[in-house]
Amino acid sequence: MESLIEGVHYYINEDGYVVLTEKYHLERGYCCGNACKHCPFDHISVPESDNSEEQSPVKKDS
């Protein structure tokens, strides 16, 4: 992936956090295990204890 394009690969949410899009994740090709909001891989690499709806926010969504 060359460079990220706002509105295509990521957006800034109302709280100022960077949120990576499903397109970004598909182009990357794998689940990183960070419980990303738009993960198209069903969070397969997320540890069971972290695989919940209520995650504490982080500044970057990988």
Tens digits of residue pLDDT in 8-59: 999 999 999 999 999 999 999 999 999 999 999 999 999 987 555 545 454 4
Q: Which two tokens stand for residue 10?
A: 């990521």
What phi and psi values does residue 28 have, to the nearest 5 degrees?
A: -70, -40
pLDDT of res. 41: 95
pTM over 0.75, yes/no = no
Choose among 41, 3, 54, 17: nearest CA to 33: 41
Structure confidence at residue 56 (pLDDT): 47
